[in-house]
A and B are shown apart, each in its own frame.
Chain A
Amino acid sequence: EEPVAKDAATCLSCHDTDDLPDMAGTAHGVRPNPPPMKAAAAALASRTMGDVRNSRSPTCFSCHGTSDQHANKPDNVEKQSKPDKTFTKKFGHVTTVQADERSRVCQSCHDGDSKRALWVGSQHQAANVACNDCHQVHTARDKVLKKASESEVCYACHKEQRTQLNKLSHHPVVEGKMTCSDCHNVHGSSGPKLVKRDSINDTCYTCHAEKRGPFVQQHSPVAEDCTNCHNSHGSVIPGMLKTRAPMLCQQCHTPHVSGAVGALGGQSGVFAPAAAGQAVPQITSVTNGKNVVNMWQGRSCMNCHSQIHGSNSPSFSNPLMR
């Protein structure tokens, strides 16, 4: 005789495969072809969900409680009561169970996972986010577990990041080649902003290890925090820079350029002949390399200071980050 998870069978007598068509494909139930309603209860015996041979296997009761009133509606009650614990935010079924309590249901099984060790006190926990605010349990296609659709779930709250990721210079999240959890551990982390590793830089180094150094010519803001200069969610400026060079560089460095104002090659007076009102054009045959065109166009300051993240060329003149 096949072992049957009786409690789950109770639930499946109503919530069959028509009601939860995707359930079997989840991590809580692996059967790909849902059995017909009559066979559902028996089939539970060999499913992870309700598998009585697997002590770690949950059943419907594990999350929702025994829900006696819900399963056995008294005749004198007009409306069937909710299960003991509900999780969804669907209209008409808004849960009154607090976020922490909902999360605790999931944690009762998933607490030992190292990725969730620092959940309590994390930004998401403190912001009253529960596991099921992001995860869908009763579907095989939980959006937050798919690289191409995960970010849509995050955008539900993080609108600014959605805007930034749609900017010209961005990590390939919109293209589905990267996703938020490539950099963030949303379940709690020791790093700031829930980054996966212990610091922002250490997280960036997981893909950009060439920036780790240390170098013979260091650049202290680079070594301290990549986000001093970069907006990792996207920017209108190439290289995901927060600000376009030379303004970015001039927020720390005294500028060395002839001519105080910014101008471009192609603008009046930049090249000979001088524009009306100007004594001389800004760029002449004797103008040195620190001119407004080289400072504002091309790679700007990086036209010369090529290795701005740190150089391993011992300089025999001034340290130039070259």
Chain B
Amino acid sequence: QTTGPQTTISAGVGFVDGSRADRGLFDQYSGIRKDSSTAALLGIDYSLRKDDPATSVEFQGSDLLGDSRELRLVWKRPGDWSLSAEYGELVHHDINQVNTGLVNPGSVAPQVSSLIGGVGTGSNFDLQTKRSKFGVVYTKTISDRMQLAVDLKSENKQGSRLFGVGMNCPTVYDPTCLGTTGINVGWATLMLPEPVDSNHSQIEVRLSYTLEKLRFNVGYYGSFYRNANSSINPTVAGNLYNPVGTLLPGSLGLLGYLNQPIALSPDNQMHQFDLSGNYDFTDKTRGLFKLAYSTASQDDNFVGVSQPGTASLGGRVNTSLVQLGVNSRPIPKLTLSGDVRYSNKDDQTPVAIYNNNAIGNTPFTNQQLSSQKTNAKLQAHWQFNSDYRGTLGVDYELIDRGTLTPTSAVAGITALREKTEETGLRAELRRQMSETFSGAMTLSTSRRDGSTWLKDNSGMGVSAVTNLADPTLVSGIFMPTLADRQRDKVRLYADWMPTKDWSVQFSAEEGTDKYTTPSVYGLRDTRMNQFSLDWSYAVSFRLNLNGYVSKGLQTFNQARTGGYLMSFENNSTTVGLGFTAKPTSQLEMGGSLSYVDDTSKYAQTLDTTADAYSVASLAASGGLPDIVLRQTVLKLFGKYALDKKSAVRVDFVHQKSSYNDWAWGYNGVPYTYSDGTTLSQQASQSVSFVGITYIYQLP
């Protein structure tokens, strides 16, 4: 018996109001073209089902006339085989508006042309990238025991994204680069959009086999990245603005630096083979395993400068992984599980000197980044009775970064560690307090420390830190990713259904990280908390309401040498309300209202080492202002059935935002690149969208 085909077409039009500046935040992923205030809406939904044998074909297309169209085909015989194909586009618009004098922006050969008319007199340029992805997945049940899956994906990415180059002429090594006050400029920052034109293809083939006690699968995964643009080659020939906005020629040395090509992401590839599965030792004990080996390589040709005889890096990284685990329920109340995971990332990239024509510099080599990582986990669950369940867990992690390459450059880093080790404990209690109320509480704590800190040896590698009173260490900064850390977290969760119509959820969590290092500088501590209340209420079988409130806090405190302490605090409140309704058999409605209030504070205070200039500067500026985002989004839809075959749907979206990120301007003064290019955001943005769609089911 065949059913269908059933085909539903939806076609309509959407209108967007608001200027380009109003739509900065709205358009980020809207899929609506920035230069258009209308959008054609077209979608299709097709299905065909046969009963003998049971097969089905489904085809869906959405936003077919827009910039983010998606198409999906699924053809299958459940339990036997399935074939699915998917094509999707995704456009990402940068939230900033660009005004520039660049010639050929977004190409591999942009020409810098300073805005002699001043800021804002250039042309607008949209930074955007578009991903176009095509994928096919085929699965086949070869027998009751064997299954094959093939997954192919290919994605093109095109467009341009925020990028740039800057140069501060070195005072010692290249004095000719320095500008002369009033005559020429000796440093510059330039916004050069990165030209994006790449393809990423991935293939995964997997064969699964099932025996009575053993289930396993073997697979191959391959990743192939190809970038059509190997470098960006800017032309910087004319005048540039100095720090106070005077247009002057760039020094020859500076222009020499700025005109160097910059390598873009090189091609790379990776191959992985793996075997994973599980085995039932008994009906109460199951083992898990995974073995994997991968090799990644990068041998794209260098652009510009290279070591004679070295055309490419010849990069190769081999990674091995072994994971073994076991889960057992020796008695009905007790469940034990544990696993050990070991991975070895072996960087086989040849080490070579890459600055043999350096001007008095110490030799610079590339750096191998090998590491071995061991993770272990052991946890026990105890079912006290049908209502109580307790869990205790221990987690362990050891990262061994190996011996650091002798000539690897670690300039700007105070010290490193070869090993870090972290042990954590978790305890959880879950309780079903009644048929309608359940809750859980989780406590966790972990402690990380590591091997001896190794001090940077002037770009020539590292040497062990033996004297913590060394002034360069006392005032140094120690990486938080390697530092001793105490991490604590508590989490509460409750789920309550007071009546058959009401559902309420509550969750709260609080966590802190505290760092201990040989100096008082760098990151000292962080904190987070989050409280959420969710609810839903079925007013009637025709009307459902829901909503949530979340309030979160994130803080960190860090200090730097030279005299300031920085305290960051982010407070975020999110509120959501929603409803679905079916007032009549013909009318269906829904909507949501969300509100976000997010404030980031950057508080600076001076420590005792601060100089008088810093004291005066902070007093004069008043410190860094808060960054506040407030956004309200209203979404409504209504769908009215005209008859059994057709309906009309109306969608309405209104988004109102205010945002004041000072990264690109403050108090009317934009951050201005040396050629006069500016990026900006409109502080208050308001945009509405209305879409009307006619939905028709073909006979």
Known pairs A217-B366, A254-B477, A260-B564 / 14 extra A-B pairs, C-beta < 8 Å: A46-B1, A89-B497, A91-B499, A114-B276, A121-B339, A213-B268, A250-B560, A264-B625, A269-B616, A278-B616, A299-B164, A299-B663, A313-B263, A319-B409
**B186 interface contact, C-beta 8 A:** yes
Q: Using CB atoms and an 8 Å cutoff, list the residues of chain A in contact with chain B.
A: 27, 30-33, 46-48, 51, 54-57, 89-92, 94, 96, 98, 100, 111-114, 117-118, 120-121, 126-128, 156-157, 159-160, 162-163, 166-168, 172, 175, 177, 190, 192, 198-199, 205-207, 209-218, 220-221, 223-225, 228, 236, 238, 243-244, 247, 250-256, 259-272, 274-279, 282-291, 293-294, 296-300, 302-304, 306-307, 311-319, 322
Q: Which residue of A lies closest to B436 (CB)?
A: A91
The CA of A192 and the CA of B422, in the complex, are separated in Å by: 15
CB–CB B620/A236 < 8 A: no
Chain A residues in 8 Å Cβ range of B357: 316
List 27 interface pairs A-B (beta carbons < 8 Å), by A numbering. A30-B49, A46-B52, A54-B79, A118-B278, A118-B288, A118-B290, A120-B325, A121-B338, A121-B339, A163-B530, A166-B594, A172-B92, A177-B68, A211-B265, A220-B369, A236-B629, A252-B480, A266-B662, A268-B622, A274-B620, A283-B244, A286-B243, A289-B167, A298-B664, A299-B663, A306-B166, A317-B355
CB distance from B34 to the nearest CB of A (A): 16
Expressed in whole angstroms, the minimum distance between the Cβ of B439 and any Cβ of chain A is 12
Would you call A120 and B665 a contact (CB within 8 A)? no
Within 8 A of A (CB), among B180-229: 181-182, 186-189, 191, 198, 200, 202, 206, 208-210, 215-217, 219, 223, 225, 227
A118 contacts across to B, CB distance below 8 A: 276, 278, 288, 290, 325
Q: Mark B241-252, 1 if CB is under 8 A from A, else 0.
A: 011101000000
> What residues of A have a CB within 8 angstroms of the CB of B47 in the complex?
32
Q: How large is the interface on B (under 10, 10 to 19, 20 to 34, 35 or more residues)?
A: 35 or more
Taking CB atoms and an 8 Å cut-off, the chain B residues in 254-289 that contact chain A are 260-266, 268, 270, 276-278, 286, 288
Interface residue SS majority, chain B: strand
| Cβ-neighbour of B6 out of A32, A96, A236, A286 (below 8 A) | A32
- B61, CB-defined interface residue at 8 Å: no
B243 in contact with A283 (CB, 8 Å) = yes
**Residues B337 and A121 in contact, CB atoms below 8 Å apart:** yes
Which residues of chain B come closer than 8 Å to A317, judged between CB atoms? Answer: 170, 173-174, 355, 358-359, 361
Pairwise interchain contact A190-B290, C-beta atoms closer than 8 A:
yes
Stretch at the interface among B444-452, B602-610, B642-650: B602-610
| Chain A nearest Cβ from B154, distance in angstroms | 12
Who on chain B is nearest to A283 by CB? B243
Contacts of B166 in A (CB 8 A): 289, 294, 303-304, 306
| Cβ distance B386 to chain A, nearest Cβ, rounded Å | 6
The 8 Å CB contact of B277, one of A96, A117, A223, A285, is: A117
Assess whether B4 is interfacial by the CB under 8 Å rule. yes
Give the residues in chain A near B292, CB-CB below 8 Å. 190, 198
Within 8 A of A (CB), among B526-542: 528, 530, 532, 534
| A322:B165 contact, CB within 8 angstroms | yes
Q: Which residues of A sit under 8 angstroms from B466, Cβ to Cβ?
A: none
Q: Is the CB of B202 within 8 A of A261?
A: no
Judge whether B637 is part of the interface by a CB distance below 8 angstroms: no
In contact, A128 and B430 (Cβ under 8 angstroms):
yes
Given A160-B509, A223-B369, A279-B616; A215-B669 close (CB under 8 Å) = no
Chain A residue contacts of B620, Cβ below 8 A: 267-269, 274-278
- Residues in B neighbouring A198, C-beta threshold 8 A: 292, 319, 321, 343
Contact call A167/B278, Cβ cutoff below 8 A:
no
Interface presence of B349 (CB below 8 A): yes
Given the known A-B contacts A31-B3, A223-B369, A262-B602, are A285 and B244 also in contact in the complex, defined by CB atoms under 8 Å? yes
Q: Does A218 contact B369, Cβ atoms closer than 8 Å?
A: yes
Residue pair B168, A290 in contact (C-beta under 8 Å): yes
Contact across chains for A247 and B477 when beta carbons are under 8 A apart: no
Contact status B168-A289, CB under 8 Å: yes
Considering the chains assembled together, what is the distance between the CA atoms of A275 and B90 in angstroms? 48
Q: Does B64 contact A (CB under 8 A)?
A: no
B44 contacts the other chain (CB 8 A): no
